[in-house]
C-alpha cells in the first residue's frame, strides 16, 4: 500500500540519516560510536527507503551489490591491521598521520571497513526479507 506521506518522510530523512551515520562513524575512534553503529544507522536509512518505495527501487539506489560492499569493507579492515605490520609494529596497532592528516589513522580505516560490512550485511538480510513478502 502506497503512502504519499511516508514516501515524503523517507525522502526527507534519507540524507539526514546518512549524515548522522557519517558523524557517528567519524567520532567513533575517540568516543562511543564508530563503524558498527554508523553502519546500522546508514542501513536504517536504506530500510526506511525500501519500506516506502520497495526493494527494487532501493537496489537501484545503491548501485553496487552488497557482496562487493562487504568485500571492500573486509579489505579496509584487514588493511588497517597490515599497515601496522608493514611499519614493524604489532598487528592492529594504531598508526596516525601527521600534520593536517593527523585525524586519519588505522582505527579510522578499520571503522570504515566495519561500516561497509555492517551496511552490506544488513541490506542483504532486509532486502531478502522484503522480497519474500
Tens-place pLDDT, residues 46-77: 999 999 999 989 988 888 999 999 999 999 99
84 — pLDDT class (breaks 50, 70, 90): confident
To the nearest 10 degrees (0 to 180), the angle between helices 106-131 and 4-27 is 160
Full domain range(s) for residue 89 = 4-131
Residue with cell 605490520: 85
- Angstrom CA distances, 50 to 34, 46, 81, 86, 128, stand at 24, 6, 35, 42, 11
The confidence score (pLDDT) of residue 96 equals: 81
Q: Which ranges of 1-133 does DSSP label H, i.e. alpha helix?
A: 4-27, 35-53, 55-62, 66-86, 106-131
The confidence score (pLDDT) of residue 127 equals: 92
- Number of domains composing the chain: 1
Global pTM reads 0.89
Amino acid at each position: 500500500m502506497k503512502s504519499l506521506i511516508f514516501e515524503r518522510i523517507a525522502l526527507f530523512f534519507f540524507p539526514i540519516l546518512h549524515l548522522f551515520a557519517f558523524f557517528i562513524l567519524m567520532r567513533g575512534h575517540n568516543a562511543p560510536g564508530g563503524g558498527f553503529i554508523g553502519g546500522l544507522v546508514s542501513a536504517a536509512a536504506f530500510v526506511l527507503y525500501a519500506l516506502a518505495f520497495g526493494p527494487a527501487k532501493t537496489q537501484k539506489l545503491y548501485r553496487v551489490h552488497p557482496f562487493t560492499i562487504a568485500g571492500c569493507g573486509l579489505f579496509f579492515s584487514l588493511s588497517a591491521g597490515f599497515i601496522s605490520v608493514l611499519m614493524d609494529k604489532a598487528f592492529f596497532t594504531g598508526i596516525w598521520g601527521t600534520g593536517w592528516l593527523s585525524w586519519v589513522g588505522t582505527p579510522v580505516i578499520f571503522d570504515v571497513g566495519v561500516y561497509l560490512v555492517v551496511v552490506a550485511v544488513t541490506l542483504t538480510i532486509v532486502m531478502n526479507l522484503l522480497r519474500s513478502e
